[in-house]
């Protein structure tokens, strides 16, 4: 986006309302009050239990039904987890290879494919969500808030004048995408305004006692996030910060590093005696995949190589003994050579 586009979107966010044209009317949707949200939660509960009493499936029951009828499978559930992990790894690759444009853009290309695959999987998994107790209650809650917060001029909108679902759809499409929120949060003119947030005579938003809009919340979250990045001891370059995929990769790498350090501290804390510390091999039990990865990283490069070689042998020979492993053969060979040398030294 250029400056004028960002300025328009920013002041649209700061105004605290959405302007929507529908059926020849210009409709203004303002953020709800605390009371509106409280009453909308009551609407949700009432709608949910009414649906439940009418024997409409809950989200969990719907998913179980999809499993039973093979409209959704456990393999597809696992595929979601695998693809999410793959997308994370690709973001890390974009970050780590940021200065190598060929590798960076190759990883980004695969990342977009993974994100599309994830979207398709989630769409398939939740295709019947609108027909569940939760889906019906969510719609009733959203329409209640929309009716409370929609105006033409200074008068509350009469919902008999328009199609409620059309208005709700247009409202949702007016909410900024994450990429847009992130760009506005880290650039001018918002950056200068954000600096003035602690001024007693300056208001970030013109909400007039109403709650924050979705876009306002997102803008604040990302502004805080970018502040925290700048304060980090391992702050990435400005070019990385401006690249959403690379910055996400940096976030993931920082999180994984913290997890590894935490597991390493726990493992080292459990190894108290010198006998254990000085052992060539130590067996450590992990509770999850993250701990497995962290424990693996504690191995030296040589140990990792030995581990890979042993795993390759075990794939072809599950009953392999010590002497079937190359590192053990080498160890015995070195021991034999030492004994041979010592024999002639006597």
- Rounded Cα distance, 238 and 203, in Å: 28
Residue-level pLDDT at 5: 97
- Domain holding 342, by residue range, is 302-346
Residue holding tokens 């239990």? 49
User: Is residue 342 included in any domain, yes or no?
Assistant: yes
What would the 3-class secondary structure string for 283-317 be?
CCCCCCHHHHHHHHHCCCHHHHHHHHHHHHHHHHC
Least confident segment among 40-44, 56-60, 235-239, 296-300? 296-300
User: Is residue 24 included in any domain, yes or no?
Assistant: no
Which carries the bigger pLDDT value, residue 221 or residue 267? Answer: 221
User: Is residue 126 included in any domain, yes or no?
Assistant: no
Q: Is the pLDDT of residue 346 over 60?
A: no
Q: 23 phi and psi, to 5 degrees? A: 60, 30
- Rounded Cα distance, 346 and 64, in Å: 77
pLDDT tens-place string over residues 283-316: 666 666 666 666 666 666 676 677 777 777 677 7
pLDDT tens-place string over residues 75-106: 999 999 999 999 999 999 999 999 999 999 99
User: Is residue 339 included in any domain, yes or no?
Assistant: yes
DSSP strand pairing (25-29 vs 18-22): antiparallel
Cis omega (within 30 of 0) for bond into 343: no
pLDDT above 90 covers what percent of the chain?
A: 68
User: Is residue 1 included in any domain, yes or no?
Assistant: no
Considering the entire predicted model, what is its pTM?
0.80
DSSP strand pairing (18-22 vs 155-156): unpaired
Average pLDDT of the chain? 88
User: Is residue 259 included in any domain, yes or no?
Assistant: no
User: Is residue 333 included in any domain, yes or no?
Assistant: yes
Q: How many domains does the chain have?
A: 1
């Amino acid at each position: 986006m250029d400056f004028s586009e960002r300025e328009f979107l920013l002041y649209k966010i700061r105004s605290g309302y959405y302007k929507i044209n529908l059926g020849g009317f210009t409709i203004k949707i303002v953020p709800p009050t605390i009371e509106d949200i409280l009453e909308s939660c009551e609407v949700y509960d009432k709608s949910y239990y009414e649906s439940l009493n009418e024997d409409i499936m809950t989200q969990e029951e719907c998913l179980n039904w999809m499993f039973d009828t093979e409209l959704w499978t456990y393999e597809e559930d696992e595929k979601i987890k695998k693809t999410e992990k793959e997308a994370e790894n690709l973001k890390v690759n974009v970050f780590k290879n940021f200065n190598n444009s060929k590798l960076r853009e190759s990883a980004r290309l695969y990342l977009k494919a993974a994100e599309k695959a994830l979207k398709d999987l989630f769409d398939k998994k939740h295709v019947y969500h609108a027909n569940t107790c939760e889906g019906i209650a969510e719609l009733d809650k959203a329409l209640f808030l929309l009716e409370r917060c929609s105006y033409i001029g200074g008068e509350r909108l009469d919902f008999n004048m328009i199609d409620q679902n059309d208005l709700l759809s247009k409202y949702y499409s007016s909410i900024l995408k994450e990429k847009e929120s992130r760009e506005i949060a880290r650039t001018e003119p918002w950056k200068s305004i954000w600096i003035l947030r602690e001024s007693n005579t300056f208001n970030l938003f013109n909400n007039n006692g109403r709650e924050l809009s979705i876009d306002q919340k997102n803008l604040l979250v990302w502004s805080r996030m970018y502040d925290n990045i700048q304060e980090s001891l391992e702050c990435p370059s400005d070019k990385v910060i401006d690249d959403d995929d690379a910055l996400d990769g940096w976030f993931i790498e920082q999180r994984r590093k913290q997890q590894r350090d935490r597991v390493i501290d726990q493992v080292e804390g459990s190894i108290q005696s010198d006998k254990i510390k000085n052992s060539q091999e130590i067996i450590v039990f992990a509770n999850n995949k993250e701990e497995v990865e962290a424990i693996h990283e504690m191995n030296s490069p040589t140990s990792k190589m030995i581990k890979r070689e042993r795993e390759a042998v075990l794939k072809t020979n599950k009953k392999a003994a010590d002497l079937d492993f190359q590192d053990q053969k080498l160890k015995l060979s070195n021991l034999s050579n030492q004994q041979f040398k010592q024999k002639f030294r006597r």
